[in-house]
Amino acid sequence: MLAPFAGPSEYEHQGERVVRGQRLTQAAADLFLGWTSGGGTTGTGSKDYYVRQLRDMKGSMSVPLMDPHQLDYYGRLCGWALARAHARTARATVISGYLGSNEDFDHAVADFAIAYADQNEKDYRRLLEAVSAGEVLATVEP
């Protein structure tokens, strides 16, 4: 998805590019992580793929069922995991330099989150109006 916007890659095979990036950020190795090509011969319509373990059986969380405390805790865990993954790439100093030592980034993220929540509320109100006006067919549960 991001390849067209990320600039040229040192890897010709897009599957290899994805796998190398994942290996940089994964704390635990995925034994089945790899890449392959298919749908033609290389250079003549062949497509690049990356492969991974289908199900890791490590469990998952149901975000819609979380109460605010659980969602806050889960969000903090996801943030920690993402920070750990980025730190594993040996680019921690680049990220640190980008973020700076003040709270500008923190405030920017908080401002974005508030604006995003406000937009969601506006969108939801507009959807309810559209349903009431018959512009959108929907079943509304009490």
pLDDT tens digit sequence for 48-94: 888 877 566 666 788 999 999 999 999 998 888 888 877 777 677 77
- 36: confidence class by pLDDT, cuts 50, 70, 90: confident
As a whole number, the mean pLDDT across the chain is: 83
- Say which residues have a Cβ less than 8 Å from residue 66's Cβ, sequence separation at least 6: 74
User: How far apart, in Å, are the Cα atoms of 59 and each of 22, 32, 62?
Assistant: 20, 18, 10
- 2: confidence class by pLDDT, cuts 50, 70, 90: low
Provide the pLDDT for residue 122: 96
Least Cα distance to 99 among 88, 110, 108, 111 occurs for: 108
Residue 65 three-state SS:
helix
